[in-house]
Amino acid sequence: MFNQILVPTDGSTLSLRAAKNAVRFAKVHGASITAFYAAPEYHPNIAGDYMPANFVPLSVFEKQIRKTADKYLGQIKELAAVGGVPCSGVYASSDSPYQAIIKAAKTNKCDLIFMASHGRSGIAGLLIGSETNKVLTHCKLPVLVYR
């Protein structure tokens, strides 16, 4: 039924648990996994000639993002390898993770997004927002939410 499953991660424990279950799900359906990490975009904090003490050059920022992405995607790749499920990993920089997730699903020809939900509700859900809810609202692909 499903051939290619996108599994987004933010590096959280819940995200990793969702990935473990995504591997089981993929194994049953004979599907492959594309692990995905939406990294923050680079926004230097420079005002005119003023450069703050905590300024991070683009090259350093990109190196750190790559290191973080490799770690998070590597965790899912490891789970998939143990489960005998083919897995690749990709990351992209975006200030709108839900848009990056939807774009990654389309680009990688995924037919399902399997993702975690942190279950924020009430004021926290309104203020922080839910990337999962935004994916559900804006995506035309099936989305399986793990809680």
At 25 the pLDDT is 98
Confidence tier at 67 by pLDDT (50, 70, 90): very high
5 SS3 class: strand
The H helix count followed by the E strand count for the chain is 5, 5
Q: What percent of the chain has pLDDT over 70?
A: 90
Q: What integer best gives the mean pLDDT of the chain?
A: 91
CA distances from 65 to 44, 58, 68, 131, 147 (A): 15, 10, 5, 20, 27
Least confident of 5-14, 76-85, 118-127: 118-127
At 130 the pLDDT is 86
pLDDT tens digits, 6-43: 999 999 999 999 999 999 999 999 999 999 999 999 98
What DSSP line would sit under 114-127, residue for residue? EEE-----HHHHHH
